[in-house]
Amino acid sequence: MKEGKRVKKLVAWFNGLSKMWKVVVIIGAVFVVIIALTTGEDEGEQTKTKKDSNKVVKTASRPKLSTKDLALIKADLAEFEARELSSEKILKDTIKEESWSGLDFANDNINQMIGTMKRYQQEILNIDAIKRSSEASADTQVFKKVFKEWSDFKIERIQVTIDLLNGKKDSEVAFKKSYPNQIIFKKVRTNKLQTALNNLKVGYELLDSQK
């Protein structure tokens, strides 16, 4: 009811204006409408852009461990194991046959293998997806911790063995303090490492499913 009276008053006021003022009022009203529409479109576009931007940032912050990355890790682990077995075989053959004349060759060969194993260790830990693990999941941190402990043990065990062949007893004492339940040449169970690797894969799959 009140709205109707207001409209009637507004019409009466407009009719009472001169022709020139009527034109001014109409032009002003058109400008107001144009400005209102333009502002609304800009705000809508800004909101959309902001949402899209947030979506891109959110997506980019989720690292993805690809099938290729996992295959690389598994291949390097296999190579790591193969080199350890090869170095152990050389040492066992040297001890068994007492072929001390070949000890220099064994030293060089095994030290080279240890260097290669350390390089593989760093390559695995430095894979892009793992480097960004702080943004991913706790499973990645578990994998890195378990893998480093596992590979450090293998490298140290081979080093201690070659030291023993060269008459260095201190290495064995230090080794036994660090690993009281392990002996030279005893295989380390890799179940824990495989579990960590599987958890890592599941963690990234969960992240991908949330995109």
How large is the C-alpha radius of gyration of the chain? 37
Q: Are 137 and 208 in contact (CB under 8 A)?
A: no
* Alpha-carbon distances, residue 123 vs 61, 71, 101 (angstroms): 23, 13, 35
pLDDT of the residue at 189 = 45
Q: Are 134 and 100 in contact (CB under 8 A)?
A: no
pLDDT of the residue at 90 = 63
How does pLDDT run along the chain (211 residues), one tens digit per residue? 555 666 566 656 666 667 666 665 566 665 555 665 665 555 555 555 555 555 444 444 444 556 676 676 667 667 666 766 766 666 666 555 555 445 555 566 666 667 777 776 777 777 665 655 555 556 666 777 777 777 777 777 777 766 766 667 777 777 777 777 665 544 444 455 555 555 555 555 554 554 4
pLDDT of the residue at 146 = 72
Domain 67-209 has CATH 1.20.120.1420: yes
Q: Which residues of 180-206 are buried (b: 16+ CB within 10 A; e: fewer)?
A: eeeeeeeeeeeeebeebbebbbebbee
Residue 171 CA to residue 104 CA, distance in Å, equals: 19
pLDDT of the residue at 88 = 63
Q: Are 172 and 157 in contact (CB under 8 A)?
A: no
Residue 121 is encoded by which pair of tokens?
Answer: 């260790």
Question: For the chain, which residues make up each domain, given as ranges?
Answer: 2-60, 67-209
Residue 18 CA to residue 20 CA, distance in Å, equals: 5
Residue 110 CA to residue 91 CA, distance in Å, equals: 9
Torsion 169-172-178-180 (CA) sign? negative
Tell which residue, 148, 139, 117, 153, has the closest CA to residue 197: 139
89 CB neighbour count, 10 Å cutoff: 10
Query: 3-state class of 87 per DSSP?
Result: helix
Q: Are 111 and 83 in contact (CB under 8 A)?
A: no
